[in-house]
A and B are shown apart, each in its own frame.
Chain A
């Protein structure tokens, strides 16, 4: 029994290829063939090309999201511009009205004395006063002439002419 166990791991005569022959350059050629097939006959493709190709194609066939985004952006821009114009217009209008009202308020706040002092009396003569009263009383031109002749001196008339 012990003799059988000792004989299990013996070496077979000859090499492990079992005497089969191959030409000298066989394995080099086989290596080249395998390489050739994996690189598709010399044509090389960039790394991870096919992983990205699918995404590129899918983006091109389904561009809807991009288009919607562009439309919204344009509409938003138009809306903002219109709003700015509207607000500016309202602001300008309000500002204009405010000045007029402000002027009115200011005049209303003035006392008679301030108004009188403001007005230069030397610029006013009997003709201006009568014209003002004629406008409010609807007097005729003949009546105006009569008043002027009766109530104004010659110097004043010649200055006016």
Chain B
């Protein structure tokens, strides 16, 4: 019986069987939707945008899971799709509104401060604002290490960056956040 508690290998095998494809996909969504959602939400900030990106992510999973080579873990593969979809979404936003790269981060910060889907205290708001000042790659690394609690090896599979570079990136991100919080 396939469900959200099933092992990833069982889910993949069940998905590749036409008779159990649909139930396997449902179980996969139930198992990973929250993790994927929060990962995406921290990138795009706005709930409605995150909703669109998450749906697009799972549609891509439906279309491509049969071709998944299993050379990485299933959830790192899911995270990679979700990350790419979120970054593509932000790039489209930049080109649609002819917004320079730096200004999109300012726009995300504005969304954070103005949005009705954020009710954190002052400290949380400051921390999220500080994270948004980081360059895109550093922000991704910081979120995945700090919030998603992923190992460097897993982040390497997702971003295609070496473990050494990821450690350096995370270190710089933490330093910048500390400086920002001290200043504010």
Q: Which residues of A contact B (CB under 8 A)?
A: 32, 36, 39-46, 49-50, 53-54, 56-58, 60-62
Contact = CB atoms under 8 A, between A and B. Distances in A.
Contacts, number: 66
Contacts of A50: 33-34, 37
B124 A41 contact: yes
Interface in B113-153: 117-121, 124-125, 127-128, 147
Interface in B4-60: 22, 25-26, 29-30, 33-34, 37-38, 41-42, 47, 51, 54-55, 58-59
The number of chain B residues touching the other chain, given as a range, is 20 to 34
Contacts of A61: 25, 58-59, 62
A56 B59 CA distance: 10
SS class of chain B's interface: helix, strand, loop or mixed?
helix
A54 B29 contact: yes
B58 A45 contact: no
B91 to A, nearest CB: 22
B85 to A, nearest CB: 13
A114 B44 CA distance: 97
Interface of B: 22, 25-26, 29-30, 33-34, 37-38, 41-42, 47, 51, 54-55, 58-59, 62, 117-121, 124-125, 127-128, 147
Contact of B125 (A39, A42, A44, A62): A42
Contacts of B30: 54
A40 B38 contact: yes
Contacts of A56: 55
A50 B147 CA distance: 19
Given A42-B118, A44-B117, A57 B124 contact: no
B54 A53 contact: yes
B22 A62 contact: yes
A76 B25 CA distance: 35
A74 to B, nearest CB: 26
Given A45-B37, A53-B55, 15 more contacts: A40-B41, A41-B127, A42-B119, A42-B121, A42-B125, A43-B38, A43-B118, A44-B119, A45-B47, A53-B29, A54-B26, A54-B29, A54-B30, A57-B58, A61-B25
A46 B37 contact: no
Closest 10 CB pairs of A and B: A42-B120, A42-B124, A61-B62, A57-B58, A54-B29, A44-B117, A42-B118, A44-B119, A41-B124, A57-B55
B130 to A, nearest CB: 12
Nearest to A62: B22
A32 B120 CA distance: 10
